[in-house]
Structure 1
Amino acid sequence: MKTTTEHQSASARAPMPGATALELQGVHKSFHTNEGRFEAVAGIDLRVGTGEIVAFLGPNGAGKTTTIDMMLGLTTPTSGSVSVFGKAPREAVEAGEISAVLQTGGLLRDLTVRETVTAIAALHGARERIDTVMERTDITSLAKRKVSKCSGGEQQRLKFALALLPDPRLLILDEPTAGMDVSARRAFWATMRQDAVAGRTVLFATHYLEEAQEFAERTVLIGAGRVLADGPTAQLREMTGGRVVSATLPSARPTAPAVAALQALERATSVRLNGHRVAVTGPDSDAAARMLLNELAATDLEITTPTLEAAFMALTGEDS
């Protein structure tokens, strides 16, 4: 995916830094089922500022898809409000201010890639952007290929191109890199970062927790239709209790006194022993490392940073 004058366009019509791109206030969404009323979204408050890249995570059934549908005006809240740049979502969609790349929503398999882009460009009155958008999403070489012959990753890039045609100020992405290989995924996120610098706002849902960890400045974690955590991604990783310091205790010495000394560390949150291998979790990894090396004569010291996956599991009680 290549850099073009697209950035200048997004930047030229972006709101001032700090402006609100997306806001949800007290949003609830209920459905009537055979088993009675089901509340898919149980009160979400969320504000996303201009130029942010936000990961929107949650286990299956957390309410992510329903919430995204309300952001796009595909369904309306039972109560509460959703606004996009101060407009109702449907107004923002019609004005070309918000676009989406969704998992669902079919492409016409018998059209070529260029025919698909041309047809959608005509709907947006954006024929002059066809070549720019195709180059930007790296599908120019696929122009004559039928959609049915494109791989899953290539179809995702095509959907991305269609979403960029109206030059939206806000992009909503649902599993945007599904089917892409590692290099295509990295190129995609490089493009997203450039767009954010230029003023475009990006909110994405993904099952690739390492993707959120690497590319999102902020992560919003939802569960049971509510926001469980919202903050800088690095801070959410720390919610699991801090770094893990592990080392091997001397085999000639009893382990119980060493474990007791580590448990007495002021900020240690847990100490686990497996044979002579001990692991200390806590926010003060330096203190644990000093004790292991200087006082307990431990070897093979290793310090690992908590992952977003660990925070995800701790907060939701679900596997990723």
Structure 2
Amino acid sequence: MIARALGVTRRFGSTVAVDQLDLDVAAGELVGLLGPNGAGKSTLISLLVGLRKPDSGRVELFGGDPRDARFRRELGMTPQETGLPTTLRVGEVVSFVSRHFPDPLPAGELLERFGLSGLEKRQTGGLSGGQKRRLAVALAFVGRPKLVVLDEPTTGLDVEGRRALWEGVRHFHAEGGTVLLTSHYLDEIENLASRVVVVGKGRVIADGPVDHVRGLVAVSRVSLTCPVPPPLDGVVHSEREGDRWELHTPDADALVRHLVRADVPFTALQVRPASLEEAFLTLTGETS
């Protein structure tokens, strides 16, 4: 295993941030880590990369203790908060970081992967917020790592910036790299991850492919236009905007049959499986 947490617990005073949690990340995986605020995601990341020590349990990185620098040599990371020296040029920043590694990626190749070509002579203080974030993420890949950990990598990026970053991550993964990322953009996890781990209250509450996570809640979304409130038997959550209704139900077929038998005057019926976001909210008990 590239990274592993075995029965890990971490407390902050009386708060249990990670509670006897188990997690394995195998070589070549692209794992999306999801969970609401306070679920323990960031604490888990800090334990896996050696920034914190567990109160109990064991954490392994490349088979050793992540707090030992020898086992972090093939790790690349971009935390949520990053800072770049504002007076240095982009090329100078990449060159400085590259010198820490025996076989770094060429600067031009790295910048092209993340949509930053042509900015080598620009001072980082003159970059847009999105360009700064993409540069911070790109630096995690400079040393040709085997594992890259990205904590909310596309926060603050526009659509074009997000897609440029996605392509850089996909390129790394296609070459055999391993990625562990957190994101509050659930479409990002759907687009990138081959495996989803949902964390709630410091524990893993779901782990598997995207379709598996959706299937755990087995909720369908029934959309219809109806001038009167439809019967809500078997509906676990409903939303209304004018005459348009969104009904979440574990049995869409039964709901539609009930509407027909009750002579409900509906039109424009649509039925689809729950999105990852809907599954995530249900699994973490945050549905409204």
Same fold by TM-score, threshold 0.5 exceeded? yes
Q: 2:274 — aligned with what?
A: 306
1:117 matched to 2:94? The reply is: yes
Q: 2:178 — aligned with what?
A: 201
CA shift in 2, pair 1:276/1:42, >3 Å = same
Q: Is the 8 A contact 1:93 1:99 kept in 2?
A: no
Length, aligned pairs only: 286
Distance 2:185 2:134 in 1: 17
Distance 1:96 1:164 in 2: 12
Q: 1:56 — aligned with what?
A: 33
Distance 1:185 1:140 in 2: 16
Distance 1:168 1:91 in 2: 16
Distance 1:187 1:194 in 2: 11
| Aligned residue type for 1:156 | R
| Aligned residue type for 2:168 | T
Q: CA deviation at 1:222?
A: 1.2
1:133 matched to 2:110? The reply is: yes
**More helix by percentage:** 1
Aligned-partner SS, 1:235? helix
Distance 1:86 1:301 in 2: 53
Q: 1:30 — aligned with what?
A: 11
Q: Is the 8 A contact 1:247 1:292 kept in 2?
A: no
1:184 matched to 2:161? The reply is: yes
CA shift in 2, pair 1:164/1:279, >3 Å = closer
Distance 1:157 1:171 in 2: 14
1:211 matched to 2:211? The reply is: no
Q: Deviations over 1:209-253 (max 9, x none)?
A: 2222332222211122111222222222234442123445798xx
Distance 2:51 2:276 in 1: 30
Aligned-partner SS, 1:180? coil
Distance 1:64 1:319 in 2: 20
Alpha-carbon RMSD? 3.2
Q: 1:13 — aligned with what?
A: none
Q: Is the 8 A contact 2:115 2:164 kept in 1?
A: no
| Aligned residue type for 1:24 | A
Q: Is the 8 A contact 1:244 1:304 kept in 2?
A: yes
Aligned-partner SS, 1:124? coil
Q: More deviation in 161-170 or 271-280?
A: 271-280
Q: Is the 8 A contact 2:30 2:178 kept in 1?
A: yes
Aligned-partner SS, 2:149? strand
Q: CA deviation at 1:144?
A: 0.8
Work out which of the two has the higher radius of gyration on C-alpha atoms and give 1 or 2.
Answer: 1
Q: 1:46 — aligned with what?
A: 23
Distance 2:34 2:252 in 1: 28
Aligned positions of 1:200-239 closer than 5 A: 200-239=177-216
CA shift in 2, pair 1:218/1:126, >3 Å = same
Q: More deviation in 122-131 or 71-80?
A: 122-131
In structure 2, stretches of 5+ residues that fail to align are none
Q: TM-score, normalised to structure 2's length?
A: 0.84
Aligned positions of 1:147-186 closer than 5 A: 147-186=124-163
Distance 2:122 2:23 in 1: 41
Q: Is the 8 A contact 1:241 1:281 kept in 2?
A: no
Q: Is the 8 A contact 2:61 2:72 kept in 1?
A: no
Q: Is the 8 A contact 1:249 1:276 kept in 2?
A: yes
Distance 1:152 1:273 in 2: 35
Q: TM-score, normalised to structure 1's length?
A: 0.77
Aligned-partner SS, 2:122? coil
Q: CA deviation at 1:97?
A: 1.4
Q: Is the 8 A contact 2:219 2:249 kept in 1?
A: yes
Distance 2:287 2:218 in 1: 18
Q: CA deviation at 1:120?
A: 0.8
Q: Is the 8 A contact 2:76 2:140 kept in 1?
A: yes
Q: Deviations over 1:4-43 (max 9, x none)?
A: xxxxxxxxxxxxxxxx2221100111234xxxx4322111
